[in-house]
Amino acid sequence: MDNQTPIHVFLIEDNPGDRRLLQELLREVTSVAIHLEYANSLSQGIQHLRENPVDIVLLDLFLPDSQGLSTFTQLQQQERDLPIVVTTGLNDETLALRAVQAGAQDYLVKGQITGELLVRSIRYAIERKRTEQKIREQAALLDIATDAILVRDVQNQILFWNKGAERLYGWTVDEALGKTVSLLFQDGLAQIEVAQQQLMIDHEWQGELNQITKAGQKITVESRWTLVRDDDGRPKFILIVNTDVTAKKQLEAQFFRAQRLESIGTLASGIAHDLNNILTPVLTTAQLLQMKPGNLDERSLHMLKILETNARRGAEIIKQVLSFARGGEGNETVLQTGHLIREIQQIIQETFPKSIELEVDVPGDLWPVIGNATQLHQVLMNLCVNARDAMPEGGLLSLSAENLTLDRNYTRTNLEAKEGKYIAITVKDNGVGISSEMLDRIFEPFFTSKDVGKGTGLGLSTALGIIKSHRGFITVSSTPDQETQFRIFLPAVTAAYGAEVVDLEVLVGDHQLILVVDDEVNVREVTKASLETYRYRALTASDGVEAIALYAQQQSDIGLVIVDMMMPAMDGTTTIRILQKLNPQVKIIAVSGLPHSGGEASPVAPVGIQGFLPKPYTVEELVKAVHDAL
C-alpha cells in the first residue's frame, strides 16, 4: 500500500452521529489518502458493493434491516474477498469478538476510536485479507498436487493433510487430523526413529519409507521432511512431502530380477554348450554300439543301455537349463489350453494325495494360443507339483483360465506385458507360501527350499524359459500360510492358424554324400558313423576353412553340409555364408549347443538353411533332420 493510491473505504452505518465522527477522524489522517463512501442499511450496502469495488468495509452490526452477528455473516457471504472491520458499542465487545472468530478482520469499539487507530486497523485488515487469500490459494495448490503433503508436530500428531494424502492413503482429512503418523506404518514408528534423529540435526531428511494405506495395501514412498522451528528456535512442526514410488519400485525389482536371471542364463548356457559337446559322442556311441549286436553279449548290451539312458538323462537336464536360458525349441501349433488343463486335471486326480482338493474352472470360449503342447504341459505340471509340495497336510489346489485384454494400465506395471489379448492360467494353492525374500529368487535355476534329492530347483526356471519363448510371462503373489498364486500369461491368437503335421517316419538314405563340419573330433566321428549306419556317405572337416576347400572340390557330389555354429577361427555363420556364395542352392543343417529360439531373430540363426539341430542329438534326430533337409 503506497500513500498515493487512495484507499476506498465503505462505511455501512445508519447512525448519522457515528458516521460523522468517523468521517471527521478520517479527515484528520494525513498519512494516507482515504476515499470514503457510505450506506444506511445492509441491503443498500450490498447493493452498492455490487457495482462499486472498494478496498474495505467498516460495518456497524446494528442496522435497520439487520442486527447482530448475522449482519456480518450476510455481508461476508456476498463479499467473500473483502476485508471487513466491524464496529460495535461499548457493551457489545463479545459480539465483536464472535464476528472476528467468524472471519472479520478486526473490530473497533465506538467511542474509543482515534484516527490513528482507525488507519492502523484498516491497513492491517487489508493486509490480513490478502495473506489469507494467498494462503487459501496455496492450500488449493497443495490440494491439486499429486504428492501427499502433510504437516505433523513433534509429537507425531497430524496437523495438515492435503487431497493428495487422501488419495494416496485413503484416510480423509477428518479421519487423519489429530491422529499420529503411526497410522501410516505397519510397524508403528520404529521405521522412522533414525530419520527423526537425523532431522533434528540436519533440519531435513529424505529417504524411502514402507507404508500402509487405510485398505491395508503396502506402498513405498519417497519421503522428504523439513523441520520448521518457532521464533525461539524450538522444533515446532515437520512438513512432509511423500511421493508414491510403489509402481516404480516394482518395475525396478522386475528389471533387476530379469537382469540377474539373464546373467545366470548366459553362464548356464555356456556350461551347457560344453557339456553337450561331451555328451553327444557318448550318446551316439552308446547307440551305435548297440546296433552291432553280433559282437556283444547280453550283459554288455545291457550296460550300453544303461550308458545310453544316463547320457539321455544328462542331456535332458541340459535341455532344461537351456530352455530356461533360451526358451524351448519351436514346433509350435495352435493349442486349446483348455484341453491341456483337463489333461493335467486327470493326472492330478490319479496321482496327487486325496487330501488335496482340486478345483478346475475353464471357460468354454478360451482363446487359443500358439505353442508347444508338451512344453506347456510341463509348465503346468511343474506349477501343480510345487503347489502339491507346498501343501503336505493337504489343501485346496485351484486351476483356472480366462481371456484377458491387457491395457496400458497393466503394461505399465509389468515389463514383459504388451498391450493386447492374452489368456491367463492361474494355479493357486493355500499351502505354506513363499516369503517375500524368497519370491525374488524362486525363478533362478537350482534355487530350491526342498531337501537334497527332493527338488533340483529347475521347475520354475524351466517354466519361465518356456513361457518366455512363447512370448508370455509369469506373475506370482503369495501370502505365507494363506494363498499362493502363479499366473501364466500367453498371447492369444484369434485368427485361424494352420497346424503342421509332423512326419515321424525315419527313412534311410540313398548313399548321398554329406559333409560334416565340427571342430570336436568325437562329434565329427560319431556323426559320420551314424550317417553311415543309415546308408549315407559322409565326409568330415574340422573347421570352416577345410570345409570350404572340400566343398569347392566336390560341390557336385555333396548333397548336404552339417555345420557346427560354434567353432573357433571361422564360425558357423561365416562358413555358411561362404558356402552359399559358392552355391546358392547349397543344403545346410546348422548344429548348435544352443537351441534355436523359435521365431525370434537370433544372431546365430543364419538365413536360407534347411534345418537346425540342437546338441546333443540322438541318431534319430540327426537322421530325421538330414532326411527332411534332403
Ligand X SMILES: Nc1ncnc2c1ncn2[C@@H]1O[C@H](COP(=O)(O)OP(=O)(O)OP(=O)(O)O)[C@@H](O)[C@H]1O
Separation of alpha carbons 351 and 385, rounded Å: 10
Interface residue with ligand X among 89, 103, 170, 433 (CB under 6 A) is 433
Q: Is 426 in the site for ligand X (CB under 6 A)?
A: no
What is the nearest approach in angstroms of Mg ion to the Cβ of residue 490? Answer: 20
What is the nearest approach in angstroms of ligand X to the Cβ of residue 441? Answer: 8
What is the nearest approach in angstroms of ligand X to the Cβ of residue 373? Answer: 20
Q: Of the two residues 351 and 554, which places its CB atom closer to Mg ion in the complex?
A: 351
Separation of alpha carbons 369 and 471, rounded Å: 11
DSSP 578: H
**Residue 596, burial from CB neighbour count under 10 angstroms (0-12, 13-18, 19+):** buried
Task: Output the residue with the shortest Cβ distance to Mg ion.
Answer: 459
Q: What is the DSSP string of 5-60?
A: SPEEEEEE---HHHHHHHHHHHHH--SS-EEEEEESSHHHHHHHHHHS--SEEEEE
What is the nearest approach in angstroms of ligand X to the Cβ of residue 355? Answer: 16
Q: How far is CA 602 from the centre of its chain?
A: 27
**Residue 309, burial from CB neighbour count under 10 angstroms (0-12, 13-18, 19+):** exposed
Q: Is 472 in the site for Mg ion (CB under 5 A)?
A: no
Interface residue with Mg ion among 459, 509, 595, 616 (CB under 5 A) is 459
Separation of alpha carbons 238 and 156, rounded Å: 9
Q: Of the two residues 352 and 617, which places its CB atom closer to ligand X in the complex?
A: 352
Q: Of the two residues 429 and 564, which places its CB atom closer to ligand X in the complex?
A: 429
- The answer to whether 99 and 69 are in contact (CB under 8 A) is yes
CB environment 217-253: b (16+ within 10 A), e (fewer)? eebbbbbbbebeeeeeeeeebbbbbbbbbbeebeeee
Q: Of the two residues 89 and 457, which places its CB atom closer to ligand X in the complex?
A: 457
Separation of alpha carbons 555 and 558, rounded Å: 5
User: Which residue is associated with the grid cell 482363446?
Assistant: 367
CB environment 80-92: b (16+ within 10 A), e (fewer)? eebbbbbbbeeeb
Q: Is 395 in the site for ligand X (CB under 6 A)?
A: no
User: Which residue is associated with the grid cell 554329406?
Assistant: 514
Binding residue count for Mg ion, defined by CB under 5 A: 2
Task: Provide the mask over 443-472, with x wherever binding to ligand X is found by CB under 6 A and - wherever it is not.
Answer: ----xxxx----xxxxxxx-----------
Q: Of the two residues 391 and 523, which places its CB atom closer to ligand X in the complex?
A: 391
Task: Output the residue with the shortest Cβ distance to ligand X.
Answer: 459
Q: Is 434 in the site for ligand X (CB under 6 A)?
A: yes
Q: Of the two residues 368 and 465, which places its CB atom closer to ligand X in the complex?
A: 465
3-state secondary structure 337-358: HHHHHHHHHHHHHHHCCCCEEE
Interface residue with ligand X among 386, 469, 530, 540 (CB under 6 A) is 386
**Residue 46, burial from CB neighbour count under 10 angstroms (0-12, 13-18, 19+):** middle
What is the nearest approach in angstroms of ligand X to the Cβ of residue 523? Answer: 29
Q: Of the two residues 115 and 457, which places its CB atom closer to ligand X in the complex?
A: 457
What is the nearest approach in angstroms of Mg ion to the Cβ of residue 462? Answer: 9
Q: Of the two residues 256 and 446, which places its CB atom closer to Mg ion in the complex?
A: 446
Interface residue with Mg ion among 242, 284, 337, 386 (CB under 5 A) is 386
What is the nearest approach in angstroms of ligand X to the Cβ of residue 597? Answer: 21
Tell me which residues touch Mg ion (CB under 5 A).
386, 459
Binding site for ligand X (CB under 6 A): 382, 386-387, 390, 429, 431-434, 442, 447-450, 455-461, 484
